[in-house]
Each structure stands twice: as C-alpha cells, then as structure tokens.
Amino acid sequence: MDDDDQPLHIAMYPWFAFGHLSPFLSLSNKLAERGHKISFLLPDRTQSKLDLLNFYPNLIQFIPLVLPAVEGLPPGSETTAEIPVALHHLLMAAMDATKPQVKTALSKLKPDYIFYDFTYWLPKLASKYGIKSVHYCTTSMAAISYLLVPATNKVEKGIDTQITEDEWMQQPRGFPPSSIRLRRHEAKAMSFITYRDYGNISFHERLTLSFRNADALCFRSSRELEGRFVDFIGDQYGKQVLLSGPLLPKPPSFKLEEKWDKWLNQFEPRTVIFCSFGSECRMEKDQFQELLFGFELTDMPFFLAVKPPFGALTMDEALPRGYKERIEDRGMVESGWVQQQLIMAHPSVGCFVSHCGLSSVTETLVNNPQLVLLPNTGDQYIIARLLAEDLRVGVEVEKREDNGSFTKENICKAIFTVMDEDNEIGKVVRENRLKMKELLVRDGFEDDYMTDFIEQLRDVDDDPFRD
C-alpha cells in the first residue's frame, strides 16, 4: 500500500465548549468516513452528549478525561454550557490541569497528528512523541485576520501589550481589501474580551501562542468564502494554512418535533421569522425586550429561541406585560434547546435572525431563509461584517456607534430589507444568497476540499520545537 493511502491516526483535543466540540467532531466524522482513525479527548461525562453525533464509532474513539478540581469552579462542571461566562477562565485552568492525562494518552496512542485550539502548551508536548500539531480554528479566517494576527499589535507592540480602542478600529497592516472594521462600542468590548484572564494568561496571549506553536493552521472554511485571508494568515504566522471546507451539517436522521411542525405548518411558505442565539448568548433585559418588540412590529409570525436575559430566571419573568397575549396567534418564545437545523429547513421559515456564530451561519447559507445579523461579541462582529458588507449575503441590524444598542425599529427594518421583494438591497442580498447556496451544496464541493485537506495534511512540515 502506498504511504499516501495509509490511514492516518489523528487525536482531537478541543476547548470544552459545544461550539468547539461539535466542529471537531464534524471534522472527525469527515475523516473517519475516509477510513482514518480518530482519538477524541474530552471530559468524562460529556461523552454521552456527543455519542449520537459520532457516526463512525468503530473509527472514532472517545478518550475520557477527568477535570481536576479548581477553586471557584462548581464541582462537576465540564463545559462552558454549565457555567456563566465569568467562570470560563476557571474551566480553562481545569483544562490546562489535564496536561498529565493528555501526556499519558499521547504516549500510549502515538497518533500522527493532534488537532487542538486553546491549549497552547500542547504542540511542545506532542513534539516529544513525534506528533505533529495542527491548530484547528472553529471561527472564521476573517476574524483571526483582524483580531489575532501579529500585525494587530500596532507599532511592533509586545504579544500581550493592550491595544487601544482606536487601534482596534483600524485594520491590521497588510489586511486584504475588505470593508471589515470594528465600531467604537465593539472596540471597547474587545479590550476586555482579549485581555481578560483565561487560565493564568490572557485570552489574547493564549490564542496567539496557540497559533504560533502549531506545525500548521487549519480553518473550517473555503477559498470561495474567505480565500483572501489564507495567504495573509499564513504570512503573518509563517505557517501552512489548510482548509477543511465549511463542514456542512448532515441532514438529521430524526424528524422535527410534532408540536413545532404543526405550529409552523399554520403559516404560508417563507413567512416565519426564526431567531436563535446559541446555547451561551444572553442579552441585557432592555435589549431583549427591544428584540421582542421588533418582531411584534413586523406583523409577521416568528419563532424566538433564546435564553432569558440577565436578571431573569425564567422566560415568563422576562416577557413584557401583555406580550404573550398580543402575540399568541403568531409568536412563539422558547428558552430551551430546539431543533435549529430542522426548523431552519421548514418551508414556512423565510428569515433567520442570527448572533453570527459560524456554525449557525453555515447552516443558514445551505438553507433558504434570508439572513439578518445581530452580533453579540468577539468574532461575531467580524463575521457579521464579512457577510453583510464583503459578501453581501445578509443584512446587519443597525446599532448605536457608542454603546451598541438597537431599537425595535432597527430590528424591523433589517427584517423587512431581506423579506420585502421590492427592496433594492434585499434583491442583491437574495441573489447573492442563492449563488452562495448553489456553490456550497454543489456535488463534489465538500469532497474535493476534504481530498485536498488530507493531501496537504500529509505534507505538513516538521514541528517548530525540533532543532
């Protein structure tokens, strides 16, 4: 058998958040589909939540790890879904403390490669066993290009020197032609996001070191979506950049719950607004209510699936007085998990209001709903600009420049822009959306990317720690 036909053995060790665990498992499934072996390191009790998404259990082996106790971290916490954002740094510290377990696992497994994201110390550990390390990034190349390349640190600042608001609002030196820029309120937020403690070092330093220490960098994207950023990131870090393709979700094997299917079937095709902000996003109560009022103002049916806002324990507590009665016949507000992919594909859904998480956006692009963008934090700001201004496949909700607040009128306007057949901006967006969908679902599109990805992976240069 030719060396290029030999099955690879790849270990996976993603950050303990479902927005990272799921894409790593999606990539694992794509690799296992071609006969490659996967050893997937993850928290012990979290395994049961991912078992059903392991489509090749004969080739994908879960390697459970026990998280060491960390002062302040609630006992039993294993993922970010179980704790507030303010405690994420403690979970990161617990993940770092699994290093001895990871070392033992790698010494026994001896995989060819290990894919990781936040554990910046992993490449050096892996190199001791001749294992090549690949930083697999679950956000967009545009976001990394703007927020986390060395050129972001203006005037050759040190790796952990704080960047000013004005500097955050400027594109890094050499940034590819693009309309992407942070706004004032986003620049203020980035100063906190990137320099907050994240397990004994700052978030910014952790991510930058994770990129610098890798043998190669990998993104779940494509040249058709973000090709202009491939060479920029590669040049900035001096690394080979691999693209896995967008890793489109497989159609679920189960059906939409009967109660939701029955509710959606009441409405005409492409008339329902669907809104979901993921498992971790929470809004301030006043903005949450503006969102609700914005949907009400459209006079269109809507399905809202979000967490209660800060300060509210239940959804009923968060709803404005009389709201439930006013929207009873055409509105649904849910706080629990819903079958997002199946709801998105329902014929009645015509618009998706997204917080701009990359997985949700990808699901939208291969379905039919028009896209309204309401970014909440970090990389979501950049993804929103990429989609609304560079690719023009969605419309972003207008916000105040100074504090990022929006009104019900802003929500309503963005929805009407993509839904109104006579709106000129909407026409352009709808045409671009259709072209993008046709490209992404084209026969062979994903297979070609995966073939190239595996070929390039075999050619990854030796690790940066070897003399």
List the single range of 8-12, 97-101, 134-138, 355-359 with lowest mean pLDDT. 355-359
Mean pLDDT of all residues in 115-139: 96
How would DSSP label each residue in 43-73?
ETTTHHHHGGG-S-TTTEEEEEEPPPP-TTS
* Annotated catalytic residue 346: no
Indicate which residue of 20, 36, 89, 204 is catalytic: 20
Q: Is the pLDDT of residue 94 over 90?
A: yes
Cα 374 to Cα 463: distance, rounded to the nearest angstrom: 40
pLDDT in tens, 215-271: 999 999 999 999 999 999 999 999 999 999 988 877 777 889 999 999 999 999 999
- pLDDT given for residue 22 in this prediction: 92
What is the percent of the chain with per-residue pLDDT over 90, rounded to a whole number? 75
Mean pLDDT of the chain: 91
Indicate which residue of 96, 112, 117, 379 is catalytic: 117
- pLDDT given for residue 36 in this prediction: 98
pLDDT in tens, 141-170: 999 999 999 887 643 444 556 788 888 999
* Annotated catalytic residue 197: no
What's the gap between Cα 101 and its chain centre? Answer: 27
- pLDDT given for residue 152 in this prediction: 76
- pLDDT given for residue 164 in this prediction: 84
pLDDT confidence band for 419 (50 / 70 / 90): very high
281 against 43, higher pLDDT? 43
- pLDDT given for residue 343 in this prediction: 94
How would DSSP label each residue in 203-230?
HHHHHHHHHHH-SEEEES--HHHHGGGH
Cα 89 to Cα 205: distance, rounded to the nearest angstrom: 13
pLDDT in tens, 163-208: 888 889 999 999 999 999 999 999 988 877 777 888 888 888 899 9
pLDDT in tens, 371-387: 999 999 889 999 999 99
Cα 167 to Cα 253: distance, rounded to the nearest angstrom: 48
pLDDT in tens, 333-367: 988 778 898 999 999 999 999 999 888 898 899 99
